[in-house]
Amino acid sequence: MAGSRPHVLTRRQFTTRMVAAGASAGILGPLLSSCGGGDDSSSDGGGPIQFWKFVAEGDDPQIEAAIERWNAENADMQVEFQTFPFADYTGTKLTTAFAAGNGPDVFWISPGAFLNYVNTGVSAPVDDLVDKGGYNPASVAAVTVDGAMQALPFEIEPVALFYREDHLADAGLEPPTTWDGLFSAAQELTSGDRKGIIIEVAPGPYQNFTWYPFLWSAGGEVVNEDSTESALRSPEAAAAFDLWGRLVTEGYAPNDNATSTTDIGTLGRGETSMQVCGFWAIAALQEEFADQPINVIPIPAPDGGSPVSVYGGWTQMLNAESPRLDAAKAFTKWLWVDDDVFAEEWACRAGSKFSPREAVNEACADVFGAATHSVFADQILPIARAEPRYPDQVVKAVGDGLQAAMFRGASGEEAAALAADAIDTFLSSYQGAPLNPETT
Average pLDDT over residues 421-438: 93
Q: How far apart are CA 56 and CA 60, in angstroms?
A: 6
Q: Is 131 left (phi over 0), alpha (psi -120 to 50) or beta?
A: beta
CA distances from residue 106 to 49, 176, 178 in whole angstroms, order as listed: 7, 43, 43
Sheet holding 79-84, edge to edge: 79-84, 49-54, 106-109, 315-318, 152-153
Task: Please report which confidence band the pLDDT of residue 412 belongs to, taking 50, 70 and 90 as the band edges.
Answer: very high
Q: Give tens-digit pLDDT for 30-75.
A: 444 443 333 333 445 568 999 999 999 888 999 999 999 999 999 9
CA distances from residue 333 to 105, 203, 421 in whole angstroms, order as listed: 14, 35, 42
Pairing of strands 157-164, 148-149: unpaired
Percent of the chain, pLDDT > 90? 78
Q: How far apart are CA 333 and CA 394, in angstroms?
A: 32
Q: Give tens-digit pLDDT for 265-321.
A: 999 999 999 999 999 999 889 889 999 999 999 999 999 999 999 998 899 999 999
Pairing of strands 148-149, 309-312: unpaired
Q: Give me the domains of the chain, ranges plus CATH numbers.
A: 49-154+314-385 (3.40.190.10), 159-310+389-428 (3.40.190.10)
pLDDT at 31: 45
Q: How far apart are CA 28 and CA 261, in angstroms?
A: 28
Distance of CA 28 to the CA centre of its chain: 21
